[in-house]
């Protein structure tokens, strides 16, 4: 947090940043900078490592000049407290990944959004995935909630929540049930013990932080299923590599990052989430190129 405080007073003009922990791997500064360069905006986009429980201290010391923040793990639930109004998706899932201030004054109210929901749908659509009747979701945090909120758009009927601590998934299970999904909650060990026929799904989504070996992968149930791993660094993750080795298809979290970041750029520049940017095709291309350069 000392590092974050040290940077709060620096610079002039319009500022943006991504907040979370760990944050050193984030490609957001590069891809946002590429977007604002195409748009002709001399805006700064930074990153600050803000651990869980320390967002209040950061916000109290942020000073002026801020247009907004991108918010990533583990702060998406904490960020709700700093939004005077919430967009429908953010209110539904109780997680905010975008704060947009009305002005750059440090006392200005903020609007809270969650671009992960629409970004997830857009990323899957780009990959040619328009529906998934059965979904296995790994993890129960803020990103997992966004995935659940997106599932009705994929015509999902049945959802398995595979988590480390089932009690922590209760709110997520209730959200899924409220959306008309058949829901079951289990631990990773319980899921691993199931026969292959009971594991089959069109889509498996990993939202568990950290590059972990937390799931057994077997070609008897992986083939025919798509893994959407929301992680993107390092890539491929351990799970993605084993999934591909077993003959399964993988969609990288980089696709979600780019899709939701484009929506954030729209919001930060005063547009609605569904209102295209000027030269948006060029902006998209520049953002993707910047992300790939950072990976090299």
- pLDDT tens-place string over residues 99-108: 999 999 998 9
CA angle (67 as vertex; 66, 68 as ends), nearest 5: 95
Cis status of the peptide bond prior to 236, with omega within 30 of 0: yes
- For the chain, percent of residues with pLDDT exceeding 70: 95
25-80: per-residue pLDDT in tens? 899 999 999 999 999 999 999 999 999 999 999 999 999 999 999 999 889 999 99
The answer to whether residue 11 scores a pLDDT higher than 50 is no
Check residue 6 and give its pLDDT. 41
Check residue 160 and give its pLDDT. 97
- Residue 246: pLDDT band (50, 70, 90) is very high
| Gyration radius of the chain's alpha carbons | 19
Active site residues: 76
CA atoms within 13 A on the CB side of 153: 16
CATH topology of domain 2-114+260-295: Rossmann fold (3.40.50)
Same fold, 2-114+260-295 and 117-254: yes
- Residue 132: pLDDT band (50, 70, 90) is very high
195-227: per-residue pLDDT in tens? 998 999 999 999 998 887 788 898 989 988 999
The answer to whether residue 242 scores a pLDDT higher than 50 is yes
Q: Where are the alpha helices (DSSP H) in 151-279?
A: 170-178, 188-192, 196-199, 219-222, 238-245, 253-268
Residue spans per domain, the chain: 2-114+260-295, 117-254
Q: Give the global pTM.
A: 0.88
Check residue 170 and give its pLDDT. 96
Average pLDDT in the chain: 92
The answer to whether residue 3 scores a pLDDT higher than 80 is no
Residue with tokens 């989430």: 273
The answer to whether residue 8 scores a pLDDT higher than 70 is no
CATH class belonging to 117-254: alpha beta
Check residue 2 and give its pLDDT. 43
Q: How far apart are CA 125 and CA 70, in angstroms?
A: 23
Check residue 296 and give its pLDDT. 59
Q: How far apart are CA 139 and CA 213, in angstroms?
A: 13
Per the CB < 8 A criterion, the answer to whether 50 and 20 are in contact is yes
Q: At a CB cut-off of 8 Å and minimum separation 6, what does 230 contact?
A: 143, 205, 206, 207, 253, 256
């Amino acid at each position: 947090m000392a590092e974050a405080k040290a940077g709060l007073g620096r610079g002039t003009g319009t500022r943006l940043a991504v907040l979370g922990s760990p944050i050193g791997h984030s490609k957001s500064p590069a891809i946002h900078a590429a977007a604002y360069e195409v748009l002709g905006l001399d805006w700064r986009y930074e990153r600050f490592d803000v651990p869980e429980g320390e967002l209040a201290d950061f916000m109290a010391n942020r000073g002026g000049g801020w247009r907004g923040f991108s918010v990533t793990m583990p702060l998406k639930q904490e960020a709700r407290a700093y939004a005077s109004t919430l967009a429908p998706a953010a209110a539904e899932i109780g997680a905010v990944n975008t704060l947009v201030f009305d002005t750059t004054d440090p006392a200005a109210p903020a609007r809270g959004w969650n671009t992960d929901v629409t970004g997830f749908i857009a990323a899957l659509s780009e990959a040619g995935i328009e529906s998934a009747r059965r979904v296995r979701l790994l993890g129960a945090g803020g990103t997992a909630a966004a995935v659940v909120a997106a599932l009705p758009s994929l015509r999902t009927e049945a959802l398995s929540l595979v988590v480390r601590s089932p009690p922590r998934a209760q709110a997520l299970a209730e959200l899924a049930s409220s959306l008309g999904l058949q829901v079951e909650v289990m631990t990773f060990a319980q899921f691993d013990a199931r026969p292959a026929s009971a594991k089959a799904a069109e889509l498996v989504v990993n939202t568990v932080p950290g590059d972990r070996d937390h799931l057994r992968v077997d070609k008897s149930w992986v083939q025919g299923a798509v893994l959407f791993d929301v992680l993107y660094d390092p890539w491929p993750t351990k799970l993605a590599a084993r999934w591909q080795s077993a003959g399964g298809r993988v969609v990288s979290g980089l696709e979600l990052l780019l899709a939701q970041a484009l929506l954030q750029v729209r919001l930060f520049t005063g547009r609605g989430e569904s209102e295209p940017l000027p030269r948006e095709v060029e902006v998209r291309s520049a953002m993707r190129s910047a992300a790939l350069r950072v990976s090299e």
